[in-house]
Amino acid sequence: MPEGHTVHRMAKDQAKNFAGQTIHVSSPQGRFEKEARLLNKKKLVDIEAHGKHLFYRWANPRAKRPRPTVMHVHLGLYGKFRLHKNPPPEPRGAVRVRLIGDDRAIDLNGPTRCEILDRAQLETLKNRLGQDPLRSDADPDIAWRRIEKTKKAVGSVLLDQSVIAGIGNIYRAEILFLLGIDPEKPGREVKRSQFDELWQLTSDLLKIGVKYNRIITVPADQVSKPPSRLKRDERLLVYKKTECGRCGTRIRKFELGARTMYACPKCQK
């Protein structure tokens, strides 16, 4: 499943290609046909990301009180976008929705959710989502209040999208390694100073991820090439590693929060 940096990068790139345009919307697969008719030939105002969720805001001039119609997309494990130059090719596979703008088109296959939300549904969903370090309206104090009260391991809490939105399995391993925090440490034993470092580091790493469209956690002073040229095994410090690059200790691999965790038992006491 794409982590938060990928979803924010999608929102940024798609907004560049489609925002402000009148979009032709269709559902080649047919499962979004009714909704597509509602959106077809309307202006796409903007695209917003929150954690692993995308929100497309469409102008709705027919509404009695004009306000945007919102299309919500959650890619899940199998969702994928394909970008095309116009005219787009024949749909490939089960295309849930196709958006055609002035110069580009995009197909969406296999999302977990693709739906139109009314105002109440949008508010309910937003209230379920945690604080997103990439958003300017994020409030880290809200996330801290959740973490300081829980007995759950901090490594599990970081995957809880209702606490901090956007962190996935790779980021949680890398963040906790960089901070020297034991993934199994209960959230309520994390100090406020540690949380503040965690929040800032998460924000910094996600911004790097958006910029380069890939997860890069290795410090710049530890590599001798530009970040864009780093290979996958050069971009990460602990995830799927066998030995710790700092101390040489064998990396511990275990299940935590229903996902495989990687940690150095020496550096993360």
Active site residue 2: yes
Decide: helix, strand or coil at residue 118.
Answer: coil
Q: Dihedral, CA atoms, 249, 253, 254, 256, nearest 10 degrees?
A: 90
Q: Which two tokens stand for residue 116?
A: 């139109």
Scan for tokens 């995830």, then name that residue. Answer: 239
Among the listed residues 52, 96, 172, 235, the single catalytic one is: 52
| Helix (H/G/I), strand (E/B), else coil: 138 | coil
Give catalytic status of residue 43 as yes or no. no
Looking at beta carbons, which pairs linking 182-186 to residues 24 or more positions away fall under 8 Å? Answer: 182/154, 182/263, 182/268, 182/269, 183/153, 183/154, 183/155, 183/256, 183/261, 183/263, 183/268, 184/153, 184/154, 184/155, 184/256, 185/153, 185/154, 186/150, 186/151, 186/152, 186/153, 186/154
d(CA 123, CA 126): 5
226 is catalytic: no
Told to judge if 92 belongs to the known catalytic residues of this protein, a careful annotator would answer no
Name the active-site residue from 3, 28, 57, 68. Answer: 3
Which residues belong to the active site? Answer: 2-3, 52, 259
